[in-house]
A and B are shown apart, each in its own frame.
Chain A
Amino acid sequence: MSEHDHDHHDHDHSELSEMDLRVRALETVLTEKGYVEPAALDAIVQAYETKIGPHNGARVVAKAWTDPAFKRALLQDATKAVSTLGHVSRVGDHLVAVENTPERHNMVVCTLCSCYPWEMLGLPPVWYKAAPYRSRAVKDPRGVLNDFGVSLPKEIEIRVWDSTAETRFLVLPMRPKGTEGWSEEQLAGLVTRDSMIGTGFPKTPGAPS
Protein backbone atom coordinates (compact mmCIF):
# COMPACT_ATOMS: atom_id res chain seq x y z
CA MET A 1 0.00 0.00 0.00
CA SER A 2 1.44 3.36 -0.95
CA GLU A 3 1.83 6.23 1.49
CA HIS A 4 -0.99 8.03 -0.26
CA ASP A 5 -3.41 5.11 0.04
CA HIS A 6 -2.55 4.78 3.67
CA ASP A 7 -3.34 8.42 4.39
CA HIS A 8 -6.64 8.37 2.57
CA HIS A 9 -7.98 4.94 3.29
CA ASP A 10 -11.64 4.13 3.06
CA HIS A 11 -13.54 4.60 6.27
CA ASP A 12 -15.74 1.60 5.68
CA HIS A 13 -12.60 -0.47 5.87
CA SER A 14 -12.63 -2.64 9.01
CA GLU A 15 -9.15 -1.58 10.05
CA LEU A 16 -9.47 1.75 11.84
CA SER A 17 -6.47 4.02 12.12
CA GLU A 18 -4.92 5.00 15.41
CA MET A 19 -6.44 8.46 15.00
CA ASP A 20 -9.92 7.08 14.31
CA LEU A 21 -9.75 5.02 17.49
CA ARG A 22 -8.37 7.80 19.61
CA VAL A 23 -10.97 10.32 18.44
CA ARG A 24 -13.75 7.79 18.83
CA ALA A 25 -12.60 7.10 22.41
CA LEU A 26 -12.74 10.80 23.25
CA GLU A 27 -16.18 11.23 21.71
CA THR A 28 -17.48 8.22 23.64
CA VAL A 29 -16.18 9.63 26.92
CA LEU A 30 -17.66 13.08 26.25
CA THR A 31 -21.00 11.54 25.30
CA GLU A 32 -21.13 9.18 28.28
CA LYS A 33 -20.34 12.06 30.63
CA GLY A 34 -23.25 14.02 29.18
CA TYR A 35 -21.12 16.88 27.80
CA VAL A 36 -22.13 16.63 24.14
CA GLU A 37 -24.86 15.11 21.98
CA PRO A 38 -23.35 13.22 19.01
CA ALA A 39 -26.19 14.54 16.83
CA ALA A 40 -25.01 18.08 17.59
CA LEU A 41 -21.50 17.14 16.45
CA ASP A 42 -22.98 15.68 13.25
CA ALA A 43 -24.78 18.98 12.64
CA ILE A 44 -21.60 21.04 13.11
CA VAL A 45 -19.64 18.86 10.67
CA GLN A 46 -22.46 18.96 8.17
CA ALA A 47 -22.76 22.74 8.33
CA TYR A 48 -19.08 23.18 7.44
CA GLU A 49 -19.24 20.52 4.73
CA THR A 50 -22.37 21.78 3.03
CA LYS A 51 -23.48 25.29 4.04
CA ILE A 52 -20.53 27.48 4.87
CA GLY A 53 -17.96 28.10 2.18
CA PRO A 54 -16.43 30.62 -0.21
CA HIS A 55 -19.79 31.04 -1.97
CA ASN A 56 -20.78 33.22 1.00
CA GLY A 57 -17.87 35.59 0.47
CA ALA A 58 -18.33 35.49 -3.30
CA ARG A 59 -21.83 36.94 -2.97
CA VAL A 60 -20.53 39.76 -0.80
CA VAL A 61 -17.81 40.58 -3.34
CA ALA A 62 -20.23 40.46 -6.28
CA LYS A 63 -22.60 42.77 -4.45
CA ALA A 64 -19.74 45.22 -3.79
CA TRP A 65 -18.82 45.14 -7.50
CA THR A 66 -22.33 46.13 -8.56
CA ASP A 67 -23.53 48.41 -5.77
CA PRO A 68 -21.26 51.37 -4.92
CA ALA A 69 -23.22 52.25 -1.75
CA PHE A 70 -22.84 48.69 -0.48
CA LYS A 71 -19.13 48.74 -1.32
CA ARG A 72 -18.65 51.92 0.72
CA ALA A 73 -20.56 50.41 3.63
CA LEU A 74 -18.55 47.18 3.36
CA LEU A 75 -15.21 48.97 3.55
CA GLN A 76 -16.49 51.10 6.42
CA ASP A 77 -17.88 48.24 8.57
CA ALA A 78 -17.99 44.84 6.92
CA THR A 79 -19.88 43.11 9.75
CA LYS A 80 -22.66 45.67 9.55
CA ALA A 81 -22.78 45.68 5.75
CA VAL A 82 -22.85 41.88 5.40
CA SER A 83 -25.52 41.58 8.06
CA THR A 84 -27.84 43.62 5.82
CA LEU A 85 -27.62 40.79 3.25
CA GLY A 86 -29.80 38.36 5.16
CA HIS A 87 -29.49 35.68 2.50
CA VAL A 88 -25.69 35.48 2.58
CA SER A 89 -24.60 34.39 6.00
CA ARG A 90 -24.81 35.33 9.61
CA VAL A 91 -21.60 37.08 10.44
CA GLY A 92 -19.67 37.77 13.62
CA ASP A 93 -18.22 41.03 14.83
CA HIS A 94 -14.99 42.63 13.60
CA LEU A 95 -15.04 41.54 9.97
CA VAL A 96 -12.82 43.90 7.96
CA ALA A 97 -12.94 44.10 4.15
CA VAL A 98 -9.78 45.36 2.45
CA GLU A 99 -9.84 46.57 -1.14
CA ASN A 100 -7.41 45.67 -3.89
CA THR A 101 -6.65 48.54 -6.25
CA PRO A 102 -4.28 48.99 -9.22
CA GLU A 103 -1.77 50.36 -6.65
CA ARG A 104 -2.24 47.93 -3.75
CA HIS A 105 -2.65 44.17 -3.38
CA ASN A 106 -3.83 42.78 -0.03
CA MET A 107 -2.99 39.34 1.34
CA VAL A 108 -4.18 37.73 4.58
CA VAL A 109 -2.30 35.33 6.86
CA CYS A 110 -2.33 34.13 10.46
CA THR A 111 1.29 33.53 11.43
CA LEU A 112 0.42 32.38 14.97
CA CYS A 113 -2.32 29.85 14.25
CA SER A 114 -5.04 29.72 11.59
CA CYS A 115 -7.42 32.70 12.02
CA TYR A 116 -9.60 32.96 8.92
CA PRO A 117 -13.04 34.44 8.12
CA TRP A 118 -14.94 31.12 8.47
CA GLU A 119 -18.35 32.70 7.99
CA MET A 120 -17.30 34.15 4.64
CA LEU A 121 -14.94 31.42 3.32
CA GLY A 122 -15.64 28.25 5.30
CA LEU A 123 -12.81 26.32 6.94
CA PRO A 124 -9.33 27.24 5.70
CA PRO A 125 -7.45 25.01 3.25
CA VAL A 126 -4.48 23.00 4.54
CA TRP A 127 -1.89 25.32 2.98
CA TYR A 128 -3.28 28.33 4.87
CA LYS A 129 -2.68 26.53 8.19
CA ALA A 130 0.69 25.06 7.28
CA ALA A 131 4.21 26.27 8.06
CA PRO A 132 5.33 27.32 4.54
CA TYR A 133 2.55 29.91 4.15
CA ARG A 134 2.53 31.07 7.77
CA SER A 135 6.29 31.57 7.87
CA ARG A 136 6.86 33.24 4.50
CA ALA A 137 3.76 35.34 3.86
CA VAL A 138 5.02 38.20 6.04
CA LYS A 139 8.63 38.11 4.86
CA ASP A 140 8.46 37.17 1.20
CA PRO A 141 4.89 37.63 -0.02
CA ARG A 142 5.93 37.87 -3.67
CA GLY A 143 7.72 34.54 -3.37
CA VAL A 144 4.59 33.03 -1.83
CA LEU A 145 2.46 34.47 -4.63
CA ASN A 146 4.83 32.82 -7.12
CA ASP A 147 3.99 29.47 -5.51
CA PHE A 148 0.37 30.20 -6.49
CA GLY A 149 1.41 31.17 -10.03
CA VAL A 150 0.59 34.80 -9.28
CA SER A 151 2.91 37.53 -10.39
CA LEU A 152 2.27 41.21 -9.64
CA PRO A 153 3.88 44.28 -11.25
CA LYS A 154 7.02 45.07 -9.27
CA GLU A 155 5.88 48.58 -8.32
CA ILE A 156 2.56 47.52 -6.79
CA GLU A 157 2.37 47.73 -2.98
CA ILE A 158 1.74 44.46 -1.20
CA ARG A 159 -0.02 44.78 2.13
CA VAL A 160 0.02 41.69 4.31
CA TRP A 161 -2.56 41.48 7.11
CA ASP A 162 -1.46 39.19 9.94
CA SER A 163 -4.63 38.12 11.78
CA THR A 164 -3.29 38.35 15.31
CA ALA A 165 -6.55 39.24 17.09
CA GLU A 166 -10.27 38.48 16.72
CA THR A 167 -10.55 40.75 13.69
CA ARG A 168 -11.07 38.80 10.45
CA PHE A 169 -10.07 39.99 7.00
CA LEU A 170 -11.76 39.56 3.64
CA VAL A 171 -9.98 40.77 0.51
CA LEU A 172 -12.19 42.60 -1.98
CA PRO A 173 -10.52 41.76 -5.30
CA MET A 174 -10.74 43.99 -8.38
CA ARG A 175 -13.63 43.31 -10.73
CA PRO A 176 -12.42 41.53 -13.87
CA LYS A 177 -12.52 43.45 -17.13
CA GLY A 178 -15.13 42.42 -19.68
CA THR A 179 -17.92 41.96 -17.12
CA GLU A 180 -19.89 45.12 -17.83
CA GLY A 181 -23.59 44.50 -17.41
CA TRP A 182 -23.12 41.15 -15.66
CA SER A 183 -25.56 40.22 -12.91
CA GLU A 184 -24.46 39.72 -9.31
CA GLU A 185 -25.03 36.01 -9.72
CA GLN A 186 -22.83 35.80 -12.83
CA LEU A 187 -20.12 37.84 -11.14
CA ALA A 188 -20.20 35.68 -7.99
CA GLY A 189 -19.27 32.74 -10.21
CA LEU A 190 -15.95 34.45 -11.00
CA VAL A 191 -14.93 35.02 -7.38
CA THR A 192 -12.50 32.39 -6.14
CA ARG A 193 -11.61 31.56 -2.55
CA ASP A 194 -7.98 32.50 -3.11
CA SER A 195 -8.96 35.89 -4.57
CA MET A 196 -10.60 36.68 -1.21
CA ILE A 197 -7.45 35.64 0.72
CA GLY A 198 -5.21 37.57 -1.66
CA THR A 199 -3.31 34.61 -3.10
CA GLY A 200 -5.16 34.64 -6.39
CA PHE A 201 -7.37 36.64 -8.74
CA PRO A 202 -11.00 36.22 -9.76
CA LYS A 203 -11.57 34.13 -12.86
CA THR A 204 -11.50 35.93 -16.19
CA PRO A 205 -14.67 35.82 -18.30
CA GLY A 206 -14.40 33.19 -20.98
CA ALA A 207 -11.27 31.55 -19.56
CA PRO A 208 -11.45 27.83 -18.83
CA SER A 209 -12.21 27.29 -15.14
Chain B
Amino acid sequence: MNGVHDMGGMDGFGKVEVEANEPTFHEKWEGRVMAMVRAMGAAGAFNIDMSRFAQERLPPHIYLASSYYRRWLLGLEGNLVNRGFVTASELTVGHASEPAKPLKRGKFGIDDVERIMVRGKFGRTAQAPAKFRAGDRVRAKNIHPVTHTRLPRYVRGHIGVVERDHGVHVFPDSAATEAGENPQWLYTVVFDGTELWGADSDPTVNISIDAFEPYLEKA
Protein backbone atom coordinates (compact mmCIF):
# COMPACT_ATOMS: atom_id res chain seq x y z
CA MET B 1 0.00 0.00 0.00
CA ASN B 2 1.14 3.55 -0.67
CA GLY B 3 1.47 4.47 3.00
CA VAL B 4 3.59 6.89 4.98
CA HIS B 5 5.79 3.97 6.06
CA ASP B 6 7.25 3.97 2.52
CA MET B 7 9.59 6.86 3.27
CA GLY B 8 12.44 6.48 0.80
CA GLY B 9 13.07 9.81 -0.95
CA MET B 10 10.65 11.93 1.10
CA ASP B 11 11.81 15.40 2.15
CA GLY B 12 11.14 17.48 5.22
CA PHE B 13 11.89 15.13 8.12
CA GLY B 14 15.02 17.02 9.07
CA LYS B 15 18.43 15.94 10.30
CA VAL B 16 19.35 12.56 11.71
CA GLU B 17 19.55 12.95 15.48
CA VAL B 18 22.05 10.59 17.08
CA GLU B 19 21.80 9.88 20.80
CA ALA B 20 25.13 9.15 22.48
CA ASN B 21 25.22 6.01 24.65
CA GLU B 22 21.68 5.13 23.76
CA PRO B 23 20.10 2.47 26.02
CA THR B 24 18.54 -0.66 24.46
CA PHE B 25 15.14 0.54 25.70
CA HIS B 26 14.24 4.04 26.88
CA GLU B 27 11.23 2.86 28.88
CA LYS B 28 10.57 -0.48 30.51
CA TRP B 29 7.33 -0.94 28.54
CA GLU B 30 9.25 -0.83 25.25
CA GLY B 31 11.08 -4.03 26.14
CA ARG B 32 7.81 -5.72 27.15
CA VAL B 33 6.24 -4.77 23.80
CA MET B 34 9.22 -6.06 21.83
CA ALA B 35 9.15 -9.32 23.80
CA MET B 36 5.38 -9.79 23.37
CA VAL B 37 5.61 -9.26 19.62
CA ARG B 38 8.42 -11.80 19.35
CA ALA B 39 6.67 -14.30 21.61
CA MET B 40 3.22 -14.11 20.01
CA GLY B 41 4.77 -14.26 16.53
CA ALA B 42 6.82 -17.31 17.47
CA ALA B 43 3.73 -18.94 18.99
CA GLY B 44 2.02 -18.58 15.61
CA ALA B 45 -0.48 -15.74 16.23
CA PHE B 46 0.82 -13.91 13.13
CA ASN B 47 3.83 -13.85 10.80
CA ILE B 48 6.38 -11.07 10.35
CA ASP B 49 4.63 -9.68 7.26
CA MET B 50 1.29 -9.44 9.08
CA SER B 51 3.18 -7.65 11.82
CA ARG B 52 4.56 -5.09 9.36
CA PHE B 53 1.23 -4.74 7.54
CA ALA B 54 -0.59 -3.98 10.81
CA GLN B 55 1.71 -1.00 11.37
CA GLU B 56 1.41 0.18 7.77
CA ARG B 57 -2.37 0.29 8.17
CA LEU B 58 -2.23 2.69 11.11
CA PRO B 59 -3.70 6.05 10.11
CA PRO B 60 -0.85 8.18 8.71
CA HIS B 61 -1.05 10.79 11.45
CA ILE B 62 -0.87 8.08 14.12
CA TYR B 63 2.04 6.33 12.39
CA LEU B 64 4.04 9.56 12.14
CA ALA B 65 3.28 10.80 15.64
CA SER B 66 4.01 7.51 17.41
CA SER B 67 7.35 6.38 18.76
CA TYR B 68 8.77 3.17 17.30
CA TYR B 69 7.61 0.85 20.06
CA ARG B 70 4.23 2.56 20.33
CA ARG B 71 3.75 1.58 16.67
CA TRP B 72 4.75 -1.96 17.58
CA LEU B 73 2.17 -1.96 20.38
CA LEU B 74 -0.61 -0.60 18.16
CA GLY B 75 0.23 -3.15 15.46
CA LEU B 76 0.32 -5.98 18.02
CA GLU B 77 -3.02 -5.01 19.58
CA GLY B 78 -4.56 -4.70 16.12
CA ASN B 79 -3.35 -8.12 14.99
CA LEU B 80 -4.42 -9.84 18.21
CA VAL B 81 -7.91 -8.33 18.12
CA ASN B 82 -8.43 -8.87 14.37
CA ARG B 83 -7.26 -12.45 14.59
CA GLY B 84 -9.46 -13.25 17.59
CA PHE B 85 -6.79 -13.83 20.24
CA VAL B 86 -8.03 -11.02 22.48
CA THR B 87 -11.00 -8.67 22.44
CA ALA B 88 -10.89 -4.90 22.56
CA SER B 89 -12.82 -4.95 25.83
CA GLU B 90 -10.30 -7.31 27.43
CA LEU B 91 -7.58 -4.79 26.57
CA THR B 92 -9.61 -1.95 28.06
CA VAL B 93 -10.37 -3.84 31.26
CA GLY B 94 -6.90 -5.35 31.52
CA HIS B 95 -8.11 -8.88 32.27
CA ALA B 96 -9.12 -11.94 30.25
CA SER B 97 -12.84 -12.63 30.04
CA GLU B 98 -13.16 -14.73 26.88
CA PRO B 99 -11.81 -18.25 26.26
CA ALA B 100 -8.32 -18.44 24.71
CA LYS B 101 -7.94 -19.24 21.01
CA PRO B 102 -5.47 -22.08 20.36
CA LEU B 103 -2.05 -20.93 19.11
CA LYS B 104 -0.47 -22.79 16.21
CA ARG B 105 2.67 -23.56 18.20
CA GLY B 106 1.17 -23.39 21.68
CA LYS B 107 2.00 -21.25 24.68
CA PHE B 108 5.29 -19.35 24.49
CA GLY B 109 7.36 -20.41 27.48
CA ILE B 110 10.87 -20.04 28.80
CA ASP B 111 12.10 -23.04 26.79
CA ASP B 112 11.10 -21.30 23.56
CA VAL B 113 13.33 -18.27 24.08
CA GLU B 114 16.52 -19.79 22.71
CA ARG B 115 15.02 -20.66 19.34
CA ILE B 116 13.87 -17.10 18.64
CA MET B 117 17.35 -15.72 19.19
CA VAL B 118 17.91 -16.78 15.58
CA ARG B 119 15.70 -15.38 12.85
CA GLY B 120 13.16 -17.60 11.16
CA LYS B 121 13.98 -19.28 7.88
CA PHE B 122 12.55 -17.68 4.75
CA GLY B 123 14.33 -19.69 2.03
CA ARG B 124 12.10 -22.15 0.15
CA THR B 125 12.30 -24.65 -2.71
CA ALA B 126 11.97 -23.18 -6.21
CA GLN B 127 8.58 -23.61 -7.86
CA ALA B 128 9.94 -22.53 -11.26
CA PRO B 129 13.30 -21.60 -12.82
CA ALA B 130 14.58 -18.06 -12.19
CA LYS B 131 13.54 -15.57 -14.89
CA PHE B 132 16.53 -13.30 -14.36
CA ARG B 133 20.22 -13.63 -13.76
CA ALA B 134 23.05 -11.35 -12.66
CA GLY B 135 23.69 -8.65 -15.27
CA ASP B 136 20.12 -8.53 -16.64
CA ARG B 137 18.53 -5.12 -17.07
CA VAL B 138 15.14 -5.06 -15.38
CA ARG B 139 12.41 -2.55 -14.72
CA ALA B 140 10.67 -2.35 -11.36
CA LYS B 141 7.02 -2.65 -12.35
CA ASN B 142 4.79 0.36 -12.00
CA ILE B 143 2.39 -1.36 -9.63
CA HIS B 144 0.49 -0.02 -6.63
CA PRO B 145 -0.87 -2.90 -4.56
CA VAL B 146 -3.32 -1.72 -1.91
CA THR B 147 -2.08 -4.35 0.54
CA HIS B 148 1.39 -5.13 1.90
CA THR B 149 4.31 -5.01 -0.54
CA ARG B 150 8.09 -4.71 -0.20
CA LEU B 151 8.54 -2.81 -3.46
CA PRO B 152 9.22 0.78 -2.39
CA ARG B 153 7.58 3.53 -4.41
CA TYR B 154 10.84 5.30 -5.23
CA VAL B 155 11.99 2.52 -7.60
CA ARG B 156 8.71 1.80 -9.38
CA GLY B 157 8.96 2.30 -13.13
CA HIS B 158 12.77 2.61 -12.97
CA ILE B 159 15.43 0.50 -14.66
CA GLY B 160 18.13 -1.30 -12.71
CA VAL B 161 20.53 -4.20 -13.05
CA VAL B 162 20.28 -7.57 -11.34
CA GLU B 163 23.41 -8.00 -9.22
CA ARG B 164 22.84 -11.29 -7.45
CA ASP B 165 20.13 -13.79 -6.72
CA HIS B 166 19.32 -14.94 -3.21
CA GLY B 167 17.36 -18.04 -4.16
CA VAL B 168 13.67 -18.44 -3.45
CA HIS B 169 11.97 -16.82 -0.43
CA VAL B 170 8.54 -16.53 1.15
CA PHE B 171 6.67 -13.78 -0.75
CA PRO B 172 5.67 -11.08 1.77
CA ASP B 173 2.83 -9.73 -0.39
CA SER B 174 1.09 -13.10 -0.06
CA ALA B 175 2.14 -13.99 3.48
CA ALA B 176 0.83 -10.69 4.87
CA THR B 177 -2.69 -11.38 3.67
CA GLU B 178 -2.84 -15.07 4.57
CA ALA B 179 -2.62 -16.03 0.91
CA GLY B 180 0.12 -18.55 1.70
CA GLU B 181 3.88 -18.41 1.29
CA ASN B 182 3.80 -18.33 -2.53
CA PRO B 183 7.66 -18.54 -2.70
CA GLN B 184 9.41 -16.34 -5.28
CA TRP B 185 12.94 -15.71 -6.55
CA LEU B 186 14.64 -12.81 -4.81
CA TYR B 187 17.29 -10.60 -6.43
CA THR B 188 19.45 -7.65 -5.45
CA VAL B 189 18.73 -5.00 -8.11
CA VAL B 190 20.94 -1.90 -8.35
CA PHE B 191 19.75 1.48 -9.60
CA ASP B 192 21.85 4.52 -10.54
CA GLY B 193 21.10 7.50 -8.35
CA THR B 194 20.45 9.58 -11.47
CA GLU B 195 17.92 7.01 -12.75
CA LEU B 196 15.92 7.39 -9.52
CA TRP B 197 16.45 11.03 -8.60
CA GLY B 198 17.22 12.76 -11.89
CA ALA B 199 20.15 14.45 -13.55
CA ASP B 200 20.92 16.73 -10.59
CA SER B 201 21.50 13.87 -8.19
CA ASP B 202 24.90 12.74 -6.92
CA PRO B 203 26.43 10.66 -9.76
CA THR B 204 28.49 8.56 -7.34
CA VAL B 205 25.43 7.09 -5.59
CA ASN B 206 23.96 3.69 -6.38
CA ILE B 207 21.01 2.23 -4.52
CA SER B 208 19.92 -1.38 -4.35
CA ILE B 209 16.77 -3.07 -3.17
CA ASP B 210 16.09 -6.76 -2.77
CA ALA B 211 13.26 -7.40 -5.21
CA PHE B 212 11.01 -10.42 -5.54
CA GLU B 213 10.57 -11.67 -9.09
CA PRO B 214 6.91 -10.55 -9.45
CA TYR B 215 8.12 -6.96 -8.89
CA LEU B 216 10.31 -7.06 -12.01
CA GLU B 217 10.00 -7.14 -15.79
CA LYS B 218 12.65 -7.35 -18.49
CA ALA B 219 13.88 -3.95 -19.61
Contacts and interface: CB of A to CB of B under 8 A. Distances in A.
Interface string A76-99: 000000000000001111100000
B32 A22 contact: no
Interface in A9-45: 11, 17, 19-30, 32-37, 39-45
Contacts of A118: 119
Contacts of B28: 11, 20
Interface residues of B, number: 89
A203 interface: no
Contact of A125 (B18, B152, B196): B18
A111 interface: yes
Given A37-B107, A126-B68, A138-B207, A167 B166 contact: yes
Interface in A97-149: 109, 111-114, 118-119, 122-123, 125-127, 129-142, 144, 147-148
Interface residues of A, number: 82
Given A23-B73, A90-B118, A164-B210, A138 B24 contact: no
A122 B23 CA distance: 11
Interface in B15-62: 15-19, 22, 24-29, 31-36, 38-40, 43, 45, 52, 55
B16 A34 contact: no
Contact of A139 (B9, B120, B121): B9
A10 B210 CA distance: 42
Contacts of B152: 111-112, 162, 164
B42 to A, nearest CB: 10
Interface stretch (A57-65, A66-74, A153-161, A174-182): A153-161
Contacts of A165: 122, 150, 166, 169, 172, 186, 210-212
Contacts of A185: none
A155 B202 CA distance: 10
Interface in B65-121: 68, 70, 73, 76-77, 85-86, 90-96, 100, 103, 107-110, 112-113, 116-121
Contacts, number: 262
B25 A126 contact: no
A8 B100 contact: no
A153 to B, nearest CB: 9
A29 B90 contact: yes
Contact of A127 (B16, B34, B122): B16
Interface in B167-219: 169-170, 172, 186, 188, 190, 196-197, 201-202, 204-212
Given A135-B10, A163-B210, A22 B73 contact: yes
A174 B4 CA distance: 36
A34 to B, nearest CB: 5
Given A26-B36, A161-B208, A112 B122 contact: no
B182 to A, nearest CB: 14
Contacts of B94: 21, 24-25, 28-29
A7 B24 CA distance: 15
Contacts of B86: 26, 29-30, 33
A7 B30 CA distance: 13
A125 B52 CA distance: 19
Given A35-B103, A94-B122, A165-B166, 7 more contacts: A26-B36, A26-B73, A36-B36, A112-B5, A125-B22, A135-B9, A142-B205
Interface of A: 7-8, 11, 17, 19-30, 32-37, 39-45, 47-49, 52, 90-94, 109, 111-114, 118-119, 122-123, 125-127, 129-142, 144, 147-148, 154-168
Closest 4 CB pairs of A and B: A92-B119, A111-B8, A25-B94, A165-B210
7 contacts: A19-B29, A35-B40, A35-B103, A49-B24, A165-B166, A165-B210, A166-B119
